Structure 1
């Protein structure tokens, strides 16, 4: 995952928040929670001390992400547990992770992040489904998995990561030596040049080709999804908004695209949520996947995105 997920924006935002908090008599901004507000608590989260690195399990928010995840990962492996209160599988996985973190004796620490309370972090990790666990070392994601895994599987996964990082994190042969900066991927550069030149079809083909070879390339996958939406939405007849039959899944998804292109995101999301409520199987999965793709076109902190995510969760569970 290193290089595919850019967490620098979260660090910059934390710096800005810290500067804001240091200004005398400065009131919190309307779009920013007061500094020192309550941290989100994960299911069963605890602060059981580790052997050498303080708490083994941390509740992390937008405000504490830099210190508790990015800075801590310079000296210690950090596993980020992305969860939500409404997520049943999250409540199965979290106790396993917390137990393993407590028994890890400081070799790694667990950082729990409520994606509803910290949507910008979820956006930075390009979260599409939870639970999602991301391993962070030296400020960069190095591995990840989605869904519930057994204690044995997670233990092996962590052991493999620690073995690979033995010469990178402090205490290894490299004593914290910085990794060499990664060169720009020439394939991504070529796709971006086509995009800037207005060759959208060519750029999309390039991004898809990268994803076909490297399904884990999050940057290319995200660029492809964005371009797919624009080209797909422009191909629809705007009249589909009025003519789509309630039971015609393809027509309703097309209508949602048109509504979104017309700057009516709430109506677009409502269309797809209505489809999720009345469908099952492949049709329901297709509608849910499309809605998650559309969410990624917006700042996750937008109120209408947060509301739609909750309504989708209700419709699914």
Structure 2
């Protein structure tokens, strides 16, 4: 496993300031009946909530397909070990055939592919079916790594009442809640409109600005094909649209430094009158990752040196 840097790649394209303020509080994994679940299916449309959940409890992502024999061998092993850990981590299952955007973002060239998320950052675990003991050993390392990054919550499995849960989680502002609800059903246009309206009402709403940037990124990335984008970017190094598309896919796939480096290299190579849209996109992506993230701090420093 490789250590992830703190901070999210994508913070779910939603405002979850309550969770950010309560970083060690437990969160519930998605479940069809509203009850906590340790193992659940996730889709392109609902993955944002999983990214946010990973800020509280480590999330293991199992990319699989119905036709994949090794996937059917590994899946029950993962579920067994996750269940035995009693809520210290959760398992999100992704059918790659039904969710091509996630398969592309995780660069799932072969399956089963198992990746963890800690505070939104991908951590490679293993590829292919592996023995149960290896799964246990890797998950033990994962829990240690998560604790080092302050992700040590768990999914509550007791009988807490709905009233107690409501008291523990402050309500989101109405427009932020509308955006959250829209993303839950895959309606990115409505989520974008809600965040834009929130910014009209309060231009200093940093959470809405970050959420808007994340929704825009998801909208752009949804229409991109990885191989075609990579080939075009390689063939046309000064094509602004091609390089920005590639940067979007870099960021969506967790390759934050690569995304920033690509945009900054393009910015440096362009004449001054062509730099504005490149700079605007870079600043938007800074907001997606988080202004205090060390990768953003480094990239801002390079941008400043190019400007002055």
> Same fold, TM exceeding 0.5?
no
Which TM-score applies when normalising by structure 2? Answer: 0.41
Q: Kindly name which structure, 1 or 2, has the bigger radius of gyration based on alpha carbons.
A: 1
Q: Whose relative contact order is higher, 1 or 2, with alpha carbons under 8 Å and at least 6 apart?
A: 2
